[in-house]
Amino acid sequence: MKTLIITILTLVSTTIFAQNTATWKGGTPGNETKWNESKNWSDNQIPDENTNVIIKFMNTGHFAQPVVEETVEVGSIELHAGAYLTITESGQVLIDGSEFYTIGIVSYGGNLINEGVINLINIDQFSSTHFQEIISGNGTVLLDNQPINAKYYAKK
Q: What is the pLDDT of residues 99-115, one digit of tens each?
A: 888 888 989 999 999 99
Q: Beta strands 71-74 and 67-68: pairing type?
A: unpaired
CA 57 remoteness from chain centre: 15
* CA separation for the pair 98, 125 (Å, rounded): 13
Give domain status of residue 99, yes or no: yes
Give domain status of residue 96, yes or no: yes
The CA–CA distances, whole Å, from 62 to 6, 49, 77, 83 equal 49, 28, 21, 13
Please report, as a single letter, which amino acid is at residue 105.
Answer: I
- State the total domains in the chain: 1
Q: pLDDT tens digit string along 118-135?
A: 999 998 776 665 666 788
Give domain status of residue 47, yes or no: yes
Angle formed at CA 52 by CA 49 and CA 58, multiple of 5 degrees: 130
Give domain status of residue 44, yes or no: yes
Contact 35, 67 (CB under 8 A): yes
Q: What percent of the chain has pLDDT over 90?
A: 57
Q: What is the mean pLDDT of residues 68-88?
A: 96
Question: Where residue 14 falls among pLDDT bands split at 50, 70, 90?
Answer: very low
Residue 18 confidence (pLDDT) above 50: yes
* CA separation for the pair 80, 76 (Å, rounded): 13
Residue 24 confidence (pLDDT) above 60: yes
Residue 39 confidence (pLDDT) above 60: yes
- At 59 the pLDDT is 66
* DSSP run (H or E) holding 92: strand 92-96
Give domain status of residue 15, yes or no: no
Q: pLDDT tens digit string along 40-73?
A: 999 999 999 999 999 998 766 678 999 999 999 9
Please report, as a single letter, which amino acid is at residue 17.
Answer: F
Please report, as a single letter, which amino acid is at residue 109.
Answer: G
Structural domain of residue 37, as residue ranges? 20-153
- At 46 the pLDDT is 97
Per-chain mean pLDDT for the chain: 83
Give domain status of residue 14, yes or no: no
Give domain status of residue 125, yes or no: yes
Give domain status of residue 136, yes or no: yes
